[in-house]
Structure 1
Amino acid sequence: MQTIELDAPDGTIEAIVARPTGQGPWPGVVVLHDGVGFGTDLRGNVEMLADYGYLAIAPNLFSRGRVRCIRSIFDALLRTGEGPPIRDILAARGYLLADVDCTRKTAVIGFCLGGGFALLTAAQGFDAAAPFYPGLYGDYRSILNGACPIVASYAALDPSLIGAPAKLDRALTALQVEHDIKSYPATMHGFANVFPVEPLLRVTGLGYDQDAARDAWQRIFAFFDRHLGTEDRVARPDAT
């Protein structure tokens, strides 16, 4: 895994890239962080994707300063659906497509706010999108018109996204977009992430849920097999 400077329309940003071992080409995956930003959890997911045979890149959407970036991020999520974060994500996809070892099939994975951006960019050239507990606002049908196939994972006890899985399902069904949406019982927001304060989160009922996370990743990789042309991939390591 290496850290690079990624050229984007609004200026250079930091990104991390991980390449599979062996000989390509490989499909590419853009990985979008949550509100915590870059950390060991994100890096672990990027490395896992490379182990599974994907050329992976994670752009740091906070590269231009956390306060400034948070404003533009929530402006895009809550109001406009566009702006620097969207352009940064598409620049990351462009980086993958320019790599000679990329099959030119790409997916986007995101967590929390990154999941929201995975949905916002699902209609902008990706072949599959895999949002975890995504926050998306506005008219889902308008935002997701022309979207790629979507495999989404929610926490059933997430108070911030009550009704969101059903709303996403209705929109994608109406748009005839292939999708797999699952809400995991007895889990809370962040069930697929491991944070530095994990022991405290467990006391409050939040935190990582190994069984749910494993099932979500299995669904994602099966979905990617169909849409990124990886059905003949060799046996993979455990996703957790």
Structure 2
Amino acid sequence: MLNLTRPDGSEPEDFHISRRAVAGLFFTGYAVAAFSAEAAPITTPEDGLVIEKAMIPNGAPNPLPAYVARPKGSGRHPTIVVINEVFGIHDYIKDICRRFAKLGYVAVAPDFFYRSGANLPAMSDLQQIIAIVRQASDVQVDGDVAATTAWLKTQKFTKPDKIGITGFCWGGGVVWRSAMVNPDFKAGVAWYGPLKPLIARAGELKAPVLGLYGGLDTGITAADVDAMRAALKAAGKDDEIKVYPDAAHGFHADYRASYNEADAKDGWARALAFFKAHGVA
């Protein structure tokens, strides 16, 4: 069983996986490099939804692929941009999109690592995965996020003034940064995203962010959380950070050993309420 303990990847001693698990996971679509043999991932059905793959123009030779889940029908809906972990767009991220779609949102998960040509969910070597992830620079990712929101604002099924963003692990850091640089977002929810590189930039936030963190996270420390809270206060920001004392990193990821059902459900409820409170509903 593997347990990702750090937002930008774990050390080799954090992991172990069997050949049987690798073979089985290749077909189930979950991230081989983090799946727990004891996990019972949530599966949200597609009935009542439109599921499609979008190709978003982003100025690159090949456009940005994205998984899209949205309610059936001709109406316009608020949108959540879902930012993946280091494992790319695997079944957990797709299911998050379907969960939002069941609640009346358009949910879109861009594949930020598509330029590598690698199938990250099927990979079991964390060092190889992290090497691919690090090729995606902040500038490149921010550009892909901007291309995504620009595309969303032109779609007949979206409300262009009601766009939020959420992300997990690596994606949680993207949420904080996107709320600083992308004016299209009305609110963001960052699940255990790295804080240290962004603390000095707290004053740049243009949209409110709810941060959800685990008190047992060994990669994002209490000192990091305290420093971000202090930076937000000094900048006059009213962003929220909730810490779950008994939760580890990845506590929302229902396919990992780190999953904490009670805290995951509470965080999800808080996320939905936060989006609603800030006009993304």
TM superposition score normalised by structure 1? 0.82
Pairwise CA distance, 1:216: 0.4
Residue equivalent to 2:44: none
Pairing of 1:177-216 with structure 2 (within 5 A)? 177-195=237-255, 198=256, 201=257, 207-216=258-267
SS of 1:118's equivalent in the other structure is helix
1:50 has 2:109 as partner: no
Question: Among the aligned pairs, what percent are the same residue?
Answer: 27
Could you say if the C-alpha distance between residues 69 and 84 of structure 1 is closer, same or farther in structure 2, counting changes exceeding 3 Å?
farther
Give the 3 Å change call, closer, same or farther, for CA 85–38 of structure 1 in structure 2. same
When residues 144 and 97 of structure 1 are mapped into structure 2, their CA distance, relative to the original with a 3 A threshold, is farther
Partner SS, residue 171 of structure 1: helix
Whole-angstrom distance in 1 between the partners of 2:249 and 2:198: 23
Q: What is the alpha-carbon distance in structure 1 between the residues aligned to residue 115 and residue 280 of structure 2? A: 35
Aligned equivalent of 1:218, options 269, 276, 279: 269
User: 1:40 Cα shift?
Assistant: 1.0
Aligned match of 2:83 in 32, 36, 51? 32
SS for the counterpart of 1:115 is helix
User: Equivalent residues in 2 for 1:13-32 (5 A)?
Assistant: 13-32=64-83
- SS of 2:227's partner is helix
Q: How does 1:1-240 map to 2 (within 5 A)?
A: 1-10=51-60, 11-65=62-116, 66=118, 69-73=132-136, 76=137, 82-104=138-160, 105-123=162-180, 124-125=182-183, 126-138=185-197, 140-142=199-201, 144-162=203-221, 163-195=223-255, 198=256, 201=257, 207-228=258-279, 230=281
List per-residue Cα deviations over 1:16-47 (Å, max 9, x = no partner): 01112445321111100001111111011000
RMSD: 1.9
Question: CA contact under 8 A between 2:196 and 2:224: conserved in structure 1?
Answer: no
| Counterpart secondary structure, 1:188 | coil
Structure 2 counterpart of 1:194, one-letter code: D
* Distance (Å, rounded) in 1 between the aligned partners of 2:188 and 2:268: 13
Classify 1:21/1:175 alpha carbon distance in 2 versus 1 (closer, same or farther; 3 Å): farther
Does the 8 Å CA contact 2:232/2:238 hold for their aligned counterparts? yes
What is the alpha-carbon distance in structure 2 between the residues aligned to residue 132 and residue 20 of structure 1? Answer: 25
Matched to 2:81, the amino acid is V
Q: Runs ≥4 in structure 1, deviation > 4 angstroms?
A: 66-69
> Cα offset for 1:139?
5.0
Indicate the structure (1 or 2) with the bigger Cα radius of gyration. 2
Q: Partner letter of residue 29 of structure 1?
A: I
Inter-CA distance 164–72: structure 2 relative to 1 (3 Å threshold): same
Give the TM-score normalised by the residue count of structure 2: 0.71
Cα distance in 1, alignment partners of residues 235 and 158 from structure 2 = 29
| Alpha-carbon distance, 1:143 to partner | 5.4
Q: Bigger relative contact order, structure 1 or 2, given CA contacts below 8 A and separation 6+?
A: 2
Q: Which amino acid aligns with 1:102?
A: T
Moved more, 93-102 or 27-36: 93-102
**C-alpha distance in structure 1 between counterparts of 2:211 and 2:276, whole Å:** 16
Distance 1:128 1:108 in 2: 7
Structure 2 distance, partners of 1:23, 1:177, is 38
Pairwise CA distance, 1:168: 2.2
Tell me the number of residue pairs that the alignment of Structure 1 and Structure 2 aligns: 214
Question: What's the counterpart of residue 79 of structure 1?
Answer: none
- Is contact 2:164–2:280 with CA below 8 Å preserved after alignment? no
Aligned equivalents of 1:132, 1:106: Cα separation in 2: 18
Cα distance change, pair 69–24 in 1 and its aligned pair in 2 (3 A): farther
How big is the shift at 1:69?
4.6
Give structure 1 stretches of 5+ with no counterpart: 77-81, 202-206, 231-240
